[in-house]
Chain A
Amino acid sequence: MDLSVNLPRGLRLKNPIIAASGTFGFGPEYAAYVDLNQLGGISVKGISPKPWRGNPPPRVWETPAGLLNSIGLQNPGLATFIEEDIPFLASVDTAVIANIIGHTVEEYRQVAERLSQEERIDAFEVNISCPNVKEGGISFGHDPRQAFLVTQAVRSVTEKPVMVKVSPNMAEPWVVAQAAVDAGADMISAINTLVGMAIDLKRRRPALGGVTGGLSGPAVKPVALRVVYEIASRVSVPVIGMGGIESAEDVLEFFLAGARAVMVGTVTFQYPERMLSIIEEIPKVWRRYGFQDLPEAVGAAHLDKEGEPG
């Protein structure tokens, strides 16, 4: 089975499995555990113009079937990424997606403009949906007008493919997705984490240093599928799905909901090699449910489509 995926503006993935931003560092960290050349792509940790310090620890907390995090987008900044990480990424044969963040529209634009000159960057993922930073991030992600302006600013400085990452923390996420598409987004990725919190009984305090955090892992999969389904049925561009994926069956569910590729995050912490076994399993699982090739499954669960029951 041909696992390659063709996305807008010539973005071609070897297979539909991309490492999700923030769970896979900048690439080299997992190189001793995963053959990076076998991945469809890597979405690197969010990059801002200047270094960000991030939130106070503790930054992770386990919940039933889930993980809460409040990393707060700590990152070494654009210059360090270019000097230290791009040379490594140049040695890897997989799609590299630069996840970008900023406090202001101008900061998003700066990162996109500079990285647009880097041959090794194959696409951008504009993160307007991180629940762990007070200014920037989420404030753009919950306001369609702001989402439009951020996307437009990025679009204006790059010819590379641009996807905008949407938050699930609102009733109608497709409104923001549509605004991003109106501003020139080539793709939508969804979902980022769900805002939540935990209490540490021993300390009688919020468990996370950042008080609230973002929930990921299998616990969020039903929410993610709903958001992907709704967006895919309303916007015209390809959707990259994620949220709680642990198996090739999960990937197929996202495809049926309308995704054309997926990202895999939290499960990597437990099983670093899981993305590779998912890739290996895809043909078998696709056939088991009656699909002969990848695209055939895209959106097949939508009620307006004539689905053949497997």
Chain B
Amino acid sequence: MKNAFKASIVARDEVAPDHVELILSSPELEDAQPGQFCHVLTPGMLRRPLSFSRLDRKRGRAGVLLQVVGSGTAWLYERRVGEQLDLLGPLGRGFEPPDPSRPWLLVGGGVGIPPLYAALQCWQAAWDQPLGVILGARAATAVIMTKDFQDRGVYPLVTTDDGSLGRFGTVMGPFLEWMDRYPESQVMACGPTGMLAALHGAAKARQGSMQLCLEQRMGCGIGACLACVVPAQPIGEEGPCYRRVCTEGPVFQAEELVF
């Protein structure tokens, strides 16, 4: 059926040690939105969720950029141009388009960077407000996609946990500096939970809006099994309620979430 299909790998690029970007082609990818993901069949018991790293909707192409962290991503790393992947997608609620009258800030950590690049690619045209990109990673070897941003004339501010590239430390320093300068900014962020929690905490005291793109372990990927939940508003007697990352996310407004 329409949302389950095979896509051909038309390009493959080893973008950093243990990181590969695969460009997939299939007409179903014409509908993909930044922030959405696909659920990829691998040899294990469950599919693997991967965000779109870039979109070429007219040609029905989309990229996925993955880091090898276990069996499924190791298998995907070995795939070659000409092979096919079995996908469900495009899935989930992507980013809301940015409001062109306000500054825009993208904050990405590790393999949270790809969906932000897709967002930039989609909405950058005719952008005349201030636009910032802050990318964080463990070390220089895990900094990805900086050249892609630069090719679009956007120069990311890079931070690394060990100081091996860009600024030493986390994305929080440059984030707070940007927000002091442009308090009305709309922020889109994706990365490790710790980073998103820190951004979420910092955003509470500020006036701008923030969209966060989340990860959670998934079963079905399409809303049926209730595996992929995260704590969310409203907070009831028993605590926060649980909402599904696969269908109600992966992109949430910061105020919808509880960290």
Contacts and interface: CB of A to CB of B under 8 A. Distances in A.
Contact of A57 (B44, B47, B236, B242): B242
B224 A57 contact: no
Contacts of A272: 4, 88, 222
Contacts of A24: 224
A201 B30 CA distance: 40
Interface in A60-97: 60-63, 65-67, 69, 71, 74
Closest 7 CB pairs between A and B?
A25-B224, A29-B224, A60-B227, A59-B227, A58-B217, A29-B223, A32-B3
Interface string B193-221: 00000000000000000000000111111
Given A23-B219, A57-B230, 14 more contacts: A23-B220, A25-B220, A25-B223, A33-B4, A35-B1, A45-B226, A54-B229, A54-B242, A59-B226, A66-B45, A67-B45, A69-B219, A74-B229, A272-B222
B234 to A, nearest CB: 12
Contacts of B217: 57-61
B227 A33 contact: no
Interface residues of A, number: 35
Interface of A: 22-25, 29-30, 32-35, 45, 53-54, 56-63, 65-67, 69, 71, 74, 217, 266, 268-273
A23 B224 contact: yes
B225 interface: yes
Interface residues of B, number: 31
Given A33-B222, A74-B229, A217 B45 contact: yes
Among B220, B222, B224, find the residue whose CB has the most chain A CB atoms closer than 10 A.
B224
Contacts of B230: 57
Contacts of B225: 22-23, 25, 60, 69, 71, 269
A210 to B, nearest CB: 12
B45 A53 contact: no
Nearest to A267: B45
Main SS at interface, chain B = loop
Interface string B1-33: 111100000000000000000000000000000
B145 interface: no
Given A33-B222, A59-B229, A71-B227, A273 B4 contact: yes
B241 interface: yes
B224 A270 contact: no
A60 B242 CA distance: 15
Nearest to B2: A32
Contacts of A30: 220, 222, 224
B248 to A, nearest CB: 13
Contacts of B220: 23, 25, 29-30, 268-269
Nearest to A72: B226
B229 A60 contact: no
Nearest to B236: A53
A71 B219 CA distance: 11
B226 A74 contact: yes
B155 to A, nearest CB: 34
Contact of A60 (B4, B218, B222, B241): B218
A61 B219 CA distance: 9
Contacts of A35: 1
Nearest to A34: B1
A58 B228 CA distance: 7
Contacts of A65: 45
